[in-house]
Copies of this chain bind each other. A is one copy, B any other.
């Protein structure tokens, strides 16, 4: 008998038949003797529909009231699921954020969970009940409703699992698990049986959209094993858990790519202390997140070239800011490029294996792919390349690091 938190995403509860399907899965787990807590998202499309309603009122809706509005999506889901569960004879009870005090800060639209009262849930579980919890929502100190940002239900599930000291947090979604790379790009992509929190963090933030990043941070902090799996079949998915020895033997676990960035390059800026700060402060002030930053000596003496990437959606705004800044600072020229992609390899094994970077660069060179920028961390190396090479680069790297072959034993 285990204590299990199951999270079902919007697609899995997308209509009444799917909600009944989820209810059957939950009842089956419960009948196996497990204690089951279910966290659900809004039915697919509902949150967007609510956002559109608000935007019909005004392009800039109040943030507190937006959270009141969009949190109704999950409220509808938990009620319908609890109704379905009770109809199947399960003792079920739904809870909203305020009812089990999913406490958050007051950052409306992107709140962070600070605590959960587990008493009510534990008492329900003890009494044989299935507990259904609304994902995505919480309350701040003044009982204002808050929401956790897109994908926030993942974080709710992990936080509930942590509060209940659950054995596992199962995230049911419309994919089978976490793959070595995007199967749409590389037919040899293989489902990973296990991946470490740190790798998953890099994979998620680099564009493999399976789990909300914050939920993985939370899981890492409280050591909650996450099992990512499909709600449409019974296949085992991918376990995201603490790093172990077996994982370290794998040099590269996955290849990811991201086409949503653009590059800006400032040529021949006077190379004096504080220059970078002066360039990036106004960008940060505009709430734009800069990803890669690279500074090199310029061809002009006493000057530097600074290149960086920003999300494509912020590109025009950033370019304007930069042009204003360099007028003051005496930069000579601004170049930009929207046709780029970031291709990355991720793996905890990199820490103990030298030569991984060289292998990556060689693999790209062999295909005639020019590298425009490079950045690396302990467990990740990213290269900016011309966007037309994205798929080619992904496949070349997947082959070079033999990701189609599993090193980790496949049993759970």
List the interface of chain A (C-beta within 8 A of B): 16, 19-20, 50, 53-54, 56-58, 60-62, 64-66, 68-69, 71-72, 75-76, 78-80, 82-84, 86-87, 93-94, 96, 98-99, 143-145
Contacts and interface: CB of A to CB of B under 8 A. Distances in A.
Q: Would you call the interface of chain A mostly helix, strand, loop, or mixed? A: helix
A57 to B, nearest CB: 5
Nearest to A69: B79
**Which of A60, A61, A65, A96 counts the most B-chain CB atoms under 10 A from its CB?**
A65
A76 B53 contact: yes
Contacts of A57: 16, 19-20, 80, 83-84, 87
B72 A76 contact: yes
Contacts of A79: 54, 65-66, 68-69
A223 B351 CA distance: 76
Given A54-B79, A65-B78, A69-B75, 11 more contacts: A16-B53, A20-B57, A60-B87, A61-B87, A65-B86, A66-B79, A68-B78, A68-B94, A96-B145, A98-B98, A99-B144
Contacts of A56: 16
Nearest to A68: B79
Contacts of A53: 16, 76, 80
**Which of A65, A79, A84, A94 counts the most B-chain CB atoms under 10 A from its CB?**
A79
Contacts of A61: 83, 87
A18 to B, nearest CB: 11
A69 B80 contact: yes
Copies in the complex: 2
A84 B58 contact: yes
A19 B98 CA distance: 27
B68 A96 contact: yes
Nearest to A100: B143
**Which of A19, A20, A68, A80 counts the most B-chain CB atoms under 10 A from its CB?**
A68
Contact of A62 (B71, B82, B145): B82
A173 to B, nearest CB: 22
A207 to B, nearest CB: 32
Contact of A82 (B68, B83, B93): B68
A65 B82 contact: yes
A309 B82 CA distance: 38
A143 B95 CA distance: 10
6 contacts: A58-B87, A61-B87, A62-B86, A65-B86, A65-B94, A71-B75
Contacts of A58: 83-84, 87
Q: Which 5 A-B pairs have the closest CB atoms?
A: A69-B79, A58-B87, A68-B79, A72-B72, A65-B82
A166 B82 CA distance: 39
